[in-house]
Amino acid sequence: MVGNGILKGLTETARNFLGSYVKKDRLTTVQYPEERLPQIENTRDFPFLIYDGPDWHAGMRCVACQICEKECPPKCIFIDKSKDKKPDAVGKPQAYPAVFNIDISVCMSCQICVEVCPFDAIKMDVVYDLPTDDRFGGLLLDKKKLAKSNEYYHQIHPTEAAAVDGALAEERAKADAKVKAAAEAKAAAPATPPPAAPKPAAPAQPVGGDPQ
């Protein structure tokens, strides 16, 4: 009978329509600003810089090696290396970025900067409310705006952050053991003055590859 197919199709529509009153999987609409879906853990959008400790400037992990600047496909990162050095989170003097800008109007969230960073200093953020009426200045994030604490990183990507911290701690322990062994070797040798007070902890050494 002509019209059979149409009727069959309409029953499907009716089932979806009526089902939307009783079944969650038929009504998937979310009333966005009032109601939000939970964030998926691996979500990424724009990069940010991690710092350890309370002071963002002192604790910044970035040592301005400029690898991310070189590897960034759309070239949206701009880094100026500092002339002087400052102690990093564990006290070792390191260069730091005098200027670190990311133009997020150019950034395409590919996270290659995260992959190539040997210091785990740059990670992907999840903040998406970044509209601004200043097209140039408002979308050019400087290092102050980019700096976010390690606690924040743990909050947004708990699994990944735990893995990164684990790898960093392991590296640190290795470096510590090395320093200790060297100190012991020195102490064992006679007629040498006792070694200077060992550093509180060795600095974060490059972690092989991407900890993910």
Partner 1 sequence: MSAYPSPTSLLEPTAVAQEQLLEISMGPQHPSTHGVFRMNVILDGERVVKLKPVFGYLHRNHEKIAENETYLGSMPYTDRLDYLCSITNNWAYAIAVEKLAGIQVPERAEYLRVITGELTRLQNHASLLGFLLQDMGSSGTPLMYAFREREKILDLFEALTGARMMCNYMRFGGCRVDMPAGWLDQARQVVADFPKFLDEYEKLLVGNEILMERTQGVGVLSKELAINAGMSGPMARASGVSYDIRKVDKYSIYERFAFRVPLGSHGDVYDRYMMRFLEMRESLKILNEAMRDIPGGPIVDPKTKVRNFRPKPGEAYGRIESPKGELGFYLISDGGSNPYRYRVRPPSLINLTVLEDLCLGQNVADVVAILGSVDIVLGEVDR
What string of H, E and C letters represents the secondary structure of the chain?
CCCHHHHHHHHHHHHHHHHHHHCHHHCCCCCCCCCCCCCCCCCCCCEEEEECCCCCCCCECCCCCCHHHHHCCCCCEEEEECCCCEECCCCCEECCEEEEEEECCCCCCCCHHHHHCCCCCEEECCCCCCCCCCCCCCCEECHHHHEEEHHHHHHHCHHHHHHHHHHHHHHHHHHHHHHHHHHHHHHHCCCCCCCCCCCCCCCCCCCCCCCC
Decide if 204 contacts 119 (C-beta within 8 A): yes
Task: Decide whether 41 or 184 has the Cβ nearer to partner 1.
Answer: 41
Does 212 help bind partner 1 (rule: CB under 8 A)?
A: yes
Residue from 33, 54, 193, 209 binding partner 1 (CB under 8 A): 209
Does 92 help bind partner 1 (rule: CB under 8 A)?
A: no
Site string for partner 1, 166-195 (x = CB under 8 A): ------------------------------
Task: Decide whether 60 or 156 has the Cβ nearer to partner 1.
Answer: 156
Does 110 help bind partner 1 (rule: CB under 8 A)?
A: yes
Residue from 94, 101, 111, 150 binding partner 1 (CB under 8 A): 111
Place of tokens 């999987």: 25
Does 155 help bind partner 1 (rule: CB under 8 A)?
A: no
Minimum distance, C-beta of residue 8 to partner 1, in the bound complex (Å) = 6
Place of tokens 């400790």: 53
Residue from 13, 131, 189, 200 binding partner 1 (CB under 8 A): 13
As given in the structure block, the two tokens for residue 99 are 């200027």
Does 5 help bind partner 1 (rule: CB under 8 A)?
A: yes
Minimum distance, C-beta of residue 113 to partner 1, in the bound complex (Å) = 11
Residue from 23, 42, 170, 206 binding partner 1 (CB under 8 A): 42
Question: Which residues make up the interface to partner 1 (CB under 8 A)?
Answer: 2-6, 8-9, 11-13, 15-16, 28, 40-44, 67, 71-73, 108-112, 115-116, 124, 159, 209-210, 212
